[in-house]
Amino acid sequence: MKIWIAIGLLILAVSIAGCTGAPDTVRVWEEENGTTVSVNQGGRVIVTLPYDTLDRYEWRTELSTGLVVTDEQTAPGTQEWTVEPLGPGTYTFRALWVRTGAPDAAAEKTFTVTIRTV
């Protein structure tokens, strides 16, 4: 009987150790500018920002090392990036709202989100 209790406790401990409480997918909108989000290792963050092709402005992204864009889509009114951290750590996704053809330094607004992988 004691062996079954020990096995049960071992299974429970291994199960709890794998639970971080962070989600596998996090969605981030313009309202989350300047915030930090947590995602499980192997997870992804979907960043959605307003975008109008008629404005003659564009979003330019800057990613910290270890963060990659795995998908980018533009739909009426929005531009969306799916980013994935390559390992545990803290990363930064930054987007600059810049007139087409202007240098990054001329950005009229910026969006930044810190991504923590656990």
Residues 64-114: tens digit of each pLDDT: 999 999 999 998 899 999 999 999 999 999 999 999 999 999 999 999 999
Predicted confidence at residue 9, as pLDDT, reads 39
* pLDDT digits 0-9 by tens, 19-62: 547 789 999 999 999 999 999 999 999 999 999 878 889 999 99
Threshold 0.85, pTM exceeds: no
CB contact at 8 A, 61 and 105: no
88-116 in b/e form (b: 16+ CB < 10 A) is eeebebebbbbeeeeeeeebeebbebebe
- 3-state class (DSSP) for residue 64: coil
